[in-house]
Amino acid sequence: MKFLALDTSTEACSVALALDDQILALDEVCPQQHSKRILPMVQQLLSDAGVSLYQLDGIIFGRGPGSFTGVRIGVSVAQGLAFGADLPVFGVSTLAAMAQAAVQQNATEVIAAIDARMAEVYIAAYALDEAGLMQAITPEIAAKPAALPEVLTSLSFTSQLLGVGTGWQTYPQALQQLAPALISETILYPSAQFMLPFASRAWQQQLFVSAEQAEPVYVRDDVTWQKLPGR
Looking at the domain 95-183, which fold is it?
Answer: Nucleotidyltransferase; domain 5 (3.30.420)
Superfamily of domain covering 2-93+190-213: ATPase, nucleotide binding domain (3.30.420.40)
For the chain, what percent of residues have pLDDT higher than 70?
Answer: 95
Q: How does DSSP classify residue 205?
A: T
pLDDT digit string, tens, across residues 177-189:
988 899 999 999 9
pLDDT digit string, tens, across residues 31-43:
999 999 999 999 9
pLDDT digit string, tens, across residues 137-161:
999 999 999 999 999 999 999 999 9
The residue ranges of every structural domain in the chain are: 2-93+190-213, 95-183
* Predicted pLDDT at 229: 45
Do 95-183 and 2-93+190-213 fall under one CATH topology?
yes
Cβ contact 109:161 at 8 Å: yes
Count the neighbouring beta carbons within 10 Å of the beta carbon of residue 36: 10
Kindly list the distances between the CA atom of residue 221 and the CA atoms of 66, 139, 174, 218, 224, in Å, as whole numbers in the listed order: 11, 15, 24, 6, 10
Secondary structure of residue 54 in the 3-state scheme: helix
Cβ contact 35:13 at 8 Å: no
Kindly list the distances between the CA atom of residue 147 and the CA atoms of 66, 174, 177, 178, 225, in Å, as whole numbers in the listed order: 20, 9, 10, 11, 22
Residue type, 55: Q
